[in-house]
Structure 1
C-alpha cells in the first residue's frame, strides 16, 4: 500500500494564482460597474442619482448610484492593470479588499441616512463585505505563502 505525500493535498498559492485572482476581481468590478449603468439590468433606472438618494437597483437588489458605479469601474480597471505583476496583483487584492471592507463598514454605519453618499443598501453592503473578505484573503494567502523571500513556484 502506498500513501500520497502530504504535499499532494496542499494548495499552493502561486504567482499565476495571485495574478489570475487580481484579473478576475478586476473583471468582476468592471462588470458590476458597467451593469449598474444599463437600464433593465438596473431596475428603477430613472431614480438613479449621482450619489446620495439613488433608488436604482442592480438586478433589482443591489442599490447603486453613478458614484458607486464609478468606484467599481475604477477598481476594475486597477485590478486588470495591476494583475500584470505579482506584487502589484497582491497589493491590488489587499488594497481593494480593504476599500470594500471600509465601504461595507461605512454603509452599515450610515444606513439610509443622507450621509450615505454611495447610496448603498443592505444587499450592496453584503456584497462589499463578501468581496472584501475574498480579496483580502487571497492577498494574505499569497503573502503568507511567500513571506521572507521564499522561492515561488
Structure 2
C-alpha cells in the first residue's frame, strides 16, 4: 500500500482566492454553453464579432470565449495547489485581463480582427477582473521583511526571565 509522504498544509488565503476564481471561471465557461442562460444561443459562433450570443443577456460570448474561461478555470484550480503558483495565476491572469480590456477598447466591437466577441460590458468586466485579481495577489501575499544580520544567541538569552518578585526571593 502506497503512503503519501506529502505534508498536508492548510491552504493560504491566496490559494483559497485562486481556487474560488477558478471555480467562477469554470462556471462561466459552462454557463456560456447553456441555452436560456446564454441569450441568442442560436447565434453562438466559434469566434469573432459574428457571435451574437450573450451570457446572462449582457456579456457577448463565443465557443472560443467560453473555452478560454474553461481553460482559465482549470489553470486556476491546478495552480491553487501552492501559494506561489496561485499568486502567479492571479498576477499574470490579472495582467491578461487588463490586456483584454485595452484590446477591447482599441479594437471595437464589430471589427473583423476582433477574435473575441467583446462588447462594452465585457470590456468593463475585464477591467474589474484584472484589477481584482492583481489586488487579491498583492493583498493576500505575506509581507516580506528585508533580511537582517542575525547573531548567535548568547547563553544568557536561554535563561528564563524572572519577574521582579521572583528575583527578590533568590
Q: Which TM-score tier does this pair reach, normalised by the shorter chain?
A: 0.7 to 0.9
Greater RCO (Cα-Cα under 8 Å, separation 6 or more): 1
TM-score, L = length of structure 2: 0.75
User: What is the Cα deviation at residue 129 of structure 1?
Assistant: 1.0
Alpha-carbon distance in 2 for matches of 1:37, 1:22: 23
The answer to whether residue 169 in structure 2 is matched with residue 146 in structure 1 is: no
Structure 1 counterpart of 2:102, from 102, 105, 111: 105
The answer to whether residue 21 in structure 2 is matched with residue 18 in structure 1 is: no
Deviations 1:49-89 (A, max 9, x none): 11111100000000001111111111100111111101001
Alpha-carbon distance in 1 for matches of 2:131, 2:92: 11
SS in 2 for 1:118: coil
User: What is the Cα deviation at residue 146 of structure 1?
Assistant: 2.9
Q: Following superposition of structure 1 onto structure 2, how do residues 4-153 of structure 1 map, counting pairs within 5 Å?
A: 16-52=12-48, 53-112=50-109, 113-143=111-141, 145-148=142-145
Alpha-carbon distance in 2 for matches of 1:87, 1:148: 17
SS in 2 for 1:21: helix
In structure 1, the gaps of 5 or more residues are 1-14
Deviations 1:16-72 (A, max 9, x none): 210011001111111111111111100101111111111000000000011111111
Could you say which structure has the higher helix fraction? Answer: 1
TM-score, L = length of structure 1: 0.83
SS in 2 for 1:147: coil
| Higher Cα radius of gyration | 2
Deviations 1:4-26 (A, max 9, x none): xxxxxxxxxxx621001100111
RMSD value, Cα: 1.8
